[in-house]
A and B are shown apart, each in its own frame.
Chain A
Amino acid sequence: MAAELPRPSSAGRTRARHLTGLAARYLLLTVLAIIVIFPLYITIVNSLLTPGQIAARPPKFFPLHPQWDTYSRAWDVGHMSRYLVNSAIVTAFITVGQVVTATLAAYAFAFLEFPFKRTLFVVFLATLMVPFEVTIITNLTTVTSLGWYDSYQGLAVPFLATGFGAFLLRQAFLQVPRDLQDAAELDGYGHWRFMLRVAVPLARPAMAALSVFAFLGAWNQYLWPLLVTKDDRYRTVQIGLKQLRATSIDQVNVTFAGVMIAALPLVILLLFFQKQLVRGLTAGAVKG
């Protein structure tokens, strides 16, 4: 359990014992890493096998003759391309919307004085306490009566504001030095200019964190898209997976290829925005 040490110091051991300890640690880490990554690994492997090979016993753990056409079948026949585009549109809509509305609201809470400020802030925080699952009954009615069933608006509009995001950005705006506000006022900046030229650029890390957080949430949505779409033309990728699995019941490999296609955008996001992702995911924890 020497694990929480920040340094692999080996004082008190001979060199040999030190090396044994080191090897043991790597072995343990590697075994655990294999267990954690195995489901994803086997998904990639299976997506490149034929259904017969997948069912073969003992199973194959490496695709000797990768069947790349499973991907094109998932893409075309399985409509994954359509689902992916839908998800991209809805996710972009939601992410941009949340960042914009949260920025506006956070600016008001951080820089402006107005009656009922505290009350309204409590209202924003109260939204965090209502799980979305609790609101679906009436939201379904509302969206249907607006004629938004099977539409991008129906998928996105209920999520265009975020209490969490407003809170996060307000914290970031409050870090903007008072001197900068005074300097901007002396320079004749109005509120809009101060927001766009000073506050927003300074809050960029928090905005990036919120963007990634919003993206992740929107991309992974399942319950709401399932409720408000029936038409393939508006199904998002998560629901599309369910559809794909149902339609390609005898072609598990195509399902696996679809899973990879659905997962890929987030893998890319994770690789390029790891820092923002971590900040976004842990931002909630700092509230204490």
Chain B
Amino acid sequence: MGRVVLDHVTKKFDEVVAVDDLSLEIEDREFLVLLGPSGCGKSTALRVIAGLEDPTSGTVTIGDRVVNDVEPKDRDIAMVFQSYALYPHMSVRKNIEFPLRTRHVEPADRQIAVNEAAVALGLVGLLNRKPAQLSGGQRQRVALARAIVRRPAVFLMDEPLSNLDAQLRIQTRAELIELQRNLQTTVVYVTHDQVEAMTMGHRIAIMNDGVLQQVGPPQSVYERPANLFVARFIGNPPMNTMEGRVVDREGVRAVEFEGGCLPLDPAHAAAAEASGAKSLVVGVRPEHLAFSDDGALHAVITVVESLGHERHLICRLTDGQMIIVRQGSDVPRPAEGTAVRLAADPMHLHVFDAVTERRIDPR
């Protein structure tokens, strides 16, 4: 059983709080991604699960038992490190075999397990090499093989792809998803890369400053970010956000800010008013902005970034604020310097309380 539960876990290093009252349930066979900027506490949380750090308070449960007092080796986990942490003086075979040796598995069984892992990860021809003789991608596979050879209940992975080049990263990403599906094992995966999080996780847990911000399936986190941090962290190019207050414009409720004004639908406006927020932040993703003759935002296109399959139009509002519009490459490329009017899809507006930074949902 690979269920992992963190219950009010706090980890302090002297006076620095790395993980702040983290409660999180990871289901058996779930692929959970811990996502956040560097220093947000995600790696510390992972190390607490591994038993490499003791929580200052709170409990960690793996399977059915509380493991606070259990050594890492007895937690039925395996870990893949960012640097792979291969034993440089041992051959690939010895590396993969190491966790079995320490557990006094019979040589014959070890042999079988190592060969299976080597086949699964395409390492058969490399078993007698030393780690230094391998490419980055091969090392990464050895680290994975060493982790799967024991068939642990839970895999912990700390930025395992960050040392690979871009192309290999995409390939390995897909392979990891497949591997997890085949092994039917729980995976807790730490990354700062939102693309990895979006593509790999069944759910993602976003952390900032040691505090859990939101947990949920990738798509719902993208569509309904719980707060401003998540809204700005997830999505590339990032969500456009503008701070302003609710005003009445010709009978329509709208959020007015220095560079313009965006109308709200009545349900959203009502919710915003009911929340008592003095000031609001409206967010709109680049793909939900479009040219429109009666658009509420006046802007000038300053730079057109063409990515081949799509374009990013960097525009400036009248007050100079930058706003990004995503556009398919099937429409004609607009000229830089063109003055345009932009409209936002009201169904895809995100509204946040500017003070608490929390999301306000329409009623």
Contact = CB atoms under 8 A, between A and B. Distances in A.
* Direct touch of chains A and B (CB < 8 A): yes
Interface of A: 7, 9-14
A163 B207 CA distance: 55
Main secondary structure, interface of B, reads loop
- The bracket for how many chain B residues form the interface is 10 to 19
A184 B300 CA distance: 44
Nearest to A18: B54
A227 B101 CA distance: 60
Contacts of A13: 69
A12 B70 contact: yes
Interface of B: 51-54, 68-72, 74
Contact of A7 (B52, B68, B71): B52
Contact of A9 (B54, B70, B74): B54
10 contacts: A7-B52, A9-B51, A9-B52, A10-B54, A11-B51, A11-B52, A11-B54, A11-B68, A11-B70, A13-B69
A247 to B, nearest CB: 55
Nearest to A11: B51
Given A7-B52, A11-B68, A12-B69, 19 more contacts: A7-B53, A9-B51, A9-B52, A9-B53, A9-B54, A10-B54, A11-B51, A11-B52, A11-B54, A11-B69, A11-B70, A11-B71, A11-B72, A12-B51, A12-B70, A12-B71, A12-B74, A13-B69, A14-B69
B69 to A, nearest CB: 6
Contacts of B69: 11-14
Nearest to B69: A12
10 pairs of A and B residues whose beta carbons are closest in the complex: A12-B71, A11-B51, A11-B71, A12-B69, A12-B70, A11-B54, A9-B54, A10-B54, A14-B69, A9-B52
Nearest to B51: A11
Contacts of B54: 9-11
Contacts of A11: 51-52, 54, 68-72
A4 to B, nearest CB: 14
Contacts of A14: 69
- The residue in B52, B54, B68, B74 that gathers the most chain A C-beta atoms within 10 A of its C-beta is B54
A12 B69 CA distance: 4
Contacts of B53: 7, 9
A134 B292 CA distance: 92
Nearest to A8: B54
A241 to B, nearest CB: 45
Contacts of B74: 12
